[in-house]
Amino acid sequence: MSNLTPMMQQYLEIKKQYPDAILFFHLGDFYEMFFDDAVRAAPILEVALTSRDAGRLGRVPMCGVPCHSASSYIARLVSHGFKVALCEQLEDPSQAKGLVKRGVTRVITPGTFFEGETTDKTSHSYIAAVAPGSGKTYGLASAEVGTGEFRVTSFAGAGAQDKLMDELFRLQPAEVVLPEGSEELKHLVRAAAPAAAVTFWPQELFRDLARAEAALEGYEREGEWKTEAVLAAGVLAAYLAETQKRELKHLKKISSYRPEGFMLLDAATRRNLELTRSLADGSRRGTLLEVLDYTLTGMGGRRLRDWIEQPLLDPAAIEERLEAVSYLVEQAVKREEIRARLKKMGDMERLASRLSFGLANARDLLSLKDSLILAGEIKEELSGAKGLLERLRDQLENLDDITSLIAEAIAPDPPATLQEGGLIREGYHPEVDRLRSIRRDAHKYLAELEAKEKERTGIKSLKIGYNRVFGYYIEVTKPNLHLVPPDYQRRQTLVQAERFVTPELKEYEEMILGAEERLYSLEYELFCRVRDQVQAHLDRILRAARAIGQIDALASLAVAAVKGNYVRPRISSSDLIRIKEGRHPVVERALGPGNFVPNDTWLGGTDKRVAIITGPNMGGKSTYMRQVALIVLMAQIGSFVPAAEAEIGVVDRIFTRVGAADNLYGGQSTFMVEMGECRTILTQATSRSLVVMDEVGRGTSTYDGMSIARAIVEYLVQRIKAKTLFSTHYHELTDLAQLPGVFNLTVAVREEEGKVSFLYRVLPGKADKSYGLHVAALAGLPKEVIERAREILEELERRREEKPERPCRVVQLDMFSCGVEHPLLAELTRLDLDQITPLQALNLLAEWQGRLKAEGKRRGGGRRG
């Protein structure tokens, strides 16, 4: 190491302490990376990979990024799962004696980076820690460094692992801290949050309760805590302290919650109902969130997402939200006045985080000041409001002391940087004003000095200039050098002129440059002092920010209600779901006003617990079932709903089994995924649950599928007694209407001259046809295939009507030669189209067509021979 350059030796000593991070080494105006860090980072950052002399090691790989734009480069590395250790200069290089002292001031990880810009104001970026307890118990702590949220919970008993996975799926943390060697937990995390970075920490930290308690000293704790929750929170607090290397004052309040306190939504239900992420591309387009989100602030957007993902169970809490939304619906003028102010507000939660990290610049403080003033105006607009809005109004306490401080101290139009002056308002500090006066008068003084020297020397072309190398100088052209006075000191010779200084000019240079340096230093010092004073009020700022977030979310629901012509649902303690002219909120928005066909729903009580829904594909069965689930969910988040009337008896859970897809990561087939979701429903649903199941059993053979579907319906109605919507193509299941609580629904179809029109009306009764061929035609199958399928269907129906007493030989239907038996017809005879789905029918048609074409070629070849 002694043969290395001093700087490189310093680098390697620091890098040794952070082997798993990319070290951003501060050199001048750049963060430099060396060795393997540079090789790994350069292609991701799209910067040139160069080299630098390191002494005995020769030239080593190097790349770098400008300090002023480092945030965007760090964001790229973090998005690729890297950690970044910021190694800063800990002293002024101009004051350093020898090598500048450096040290790591923060380790940025996927779960602790919040400086990056995002187009989705509703998004969260959580970091979580999972602490496994004895048996199947788990503690879960989650924090969002960018907003100051820190929460803990625990899971125990039957289904604890499933509930943990569901919560991780909801949070979608960017990073999860786990005990070393816990491969099972890692697998669970990957299944629930595939994009999460997994960080392992020593096992003993997840077991040492005393150490966990010590890590939580200084935190304000709310709610009831279990041992596993304390361990998870302690580990997460210790991890944040080690990586962030500062006291995170905005994260000092930890609240505990019970997932059972909200409507539990498993991962399948969140996906199938497309609450916040589209099944098509994972975006928010085509989701319930997109329909309801008219928020104008980041705080409000995140709060609304939280409400959608955690519907309420307490009727009183639901009614309280509905009352607030109703007030804002009715008070249109007040609502728009409030929204006009919300539109101008900054993201106070994120600003509070920047304050806590010491990252806030002067523009951030001005944004905070303006936002707090607007919050005060919103408070005035809410005068007269009752209930929830009144409580939120009271949380907007008077913050004039903070706004006055910022207004008095910070310049009205400061620069983005903190090192170049322009931060402090005129009149705030006398020394700042004096130093600015010196700098401002410099031009006038130099003009006067230049005129004086021209007169004294008689050199009319004499001029005073400045450059960074020589400072201020007097320039004289060569023809006039003989007029230069003796007190001029030569500093630089040019081709056509020479440059000089005088004692007076040198003295002024020291004064003006010293004033500028002192001014920048003093402004920065004063700014940091003001920022620290504001930071002391973080609790008050965050309380106001969170109140504003809820007000914005409530106003958003009010706007959605007005624009969508929604009604206030009646929340009841009954077991009924009664909806008149209900509509699917997302589909209705896509179709436009007046184009969606509404439907009624009556579900619950003793006689209408399980609806068997039959009818053709594309007839609206899936849309109807999803719309019922979404209307119930909307009501329980406190939203108005798309219907003419609605009475909602609070449900404890919504379950969905809709669609099918292979789980390639988990190594599960379509049918296995389907059965796994059915298992969740049959083991966790209660009589207070709402169950939506779409075509269960289609992932296996016809008879197996029908048997499973029938058994599930019987179990739901006889054992669980959950309110259920069950669509099927197995028409035999309609016979279950003989059971108490089971009834049939069908989607209306109009058939005229061989053509089918879907009416999208859900009516009592059962379907008498599957209309598979009509759907196949609408899907665009070749006309030849459709006609051939119709011939086969007619023959099968004719033979079924004949009901032969014993098996008979089937004659080929004009396939290649009349009167010749064909083996395919035996298969056709056994096939009952009422017992297969359209997709299975199309697959069979494709298989048969291929076999017949191959046979035709063989026969044709034989004749030619």
Write out the binding residues for ATP: 615-622
Instruction: Give the whole-angstrom CA distance, residue 176 versus residue 143.
Output: 11
Task: In whole angstroms, give the CA distance from residue 175 to residue 196.
Answer: 5
* Separate counts of helices (H) and strands (E) for the chain: 27, 27
Annotated binding site: 615-622
SS3 141: strand
Diameter over CA atoms, the chain: 134
Residues 6+ positions from 504 with CB-CB distance below 8 Å? 449
Q: Is 427 exposed, middle or buried (0-12, 13-18, 19+ CB in 10 A)?
A: exposed
One-letter-per-residue 3-state SS of 46-78:
CCCCEEEECECCCEEEEEEEEHHHHHHHHHHHH
- The strand order across the sheet containing 127-132 reads 197-201, 175-179, 127-132, 138-144, 149-155, 253-256, 220-222
CB 50 within 8 A of CB 62: yes
Q: At 41, which amino acid appears?
A: A
Rounded CA separation 17/25 (Å):
13
3-state helix/strand/coil string of 408-429:
HHECCCCCCCCCCCCCECCCCC
User: What is the DSSP pairing of strand 654-657 with strand 197-201?
Assistant: unpaired
Asked whether the CA dihedral 727, 733, 738, 739 is positive or negative, the reply is negative
- DSSP-assigned letters across all residues of 718-755: III--EEEEE-S-GGGGGGGGSTTEEEEEEEEEEETTE
CA distances to 113, 419, 445, 513 from 442, in Å: 44, 21, 5, 10
- Token pair for 407: 């207004």
Q: Which residues of 822-837 are buried (b: 16+ CB within 10 A; e: fewer)?
A: bebbeebbebebbbbb
Cα(177)–Cα(146) distance, integer angstroms = 18
Give me the torsion for CA of 561, 166, 180, 16, rounded to 10°. -20
d(CA 110, CA 243): 11
| Among candidate residues 441, 655, 419, the one with its CA nearest the CA of residue 520 | 419
Residue 672, number of CB atoms within 10 A of its CB: 14
- Give the strands of the sheet with 570-572, arranged side by side: 570-572, 645-649, 577-582, 599-603
| Residue 323, Cβ density class (10 Å: 0-12 exposed, 13-18 middle, ≥19 buried) | middle
> % helix / strand / coil in the chain, to the nearest 5?
50, 20, 30
Is the distance from CB of 348 to CB of 534 less than 8 angstroms?
A: no
∠ Cα 397 399 403 (to 5°): 160
Structure tokens at 294: 């008219």
Q: Report strand pairing: 489-493 vs 497-501.
A: antiparallel
Strands 127-132 and 175-179: parallel
DSSP readout, 73-130? Answer: HHHHHHHTT-EEEEEEE-S-TTT-SSSPPEEEEEEE-TTT---S--S-TT----EEEE
Give the span between the Cα atoms of 173 and 128, in whole angstroms: 6
Q: Which two tokens stand for residue 771?
A: 């209309």
Q: How far is CA 742 from CA 501, 613, 682, in A?
A: 102, 11, 17
> Distance between CA 165 and CA 265 in Å, rounded?
11
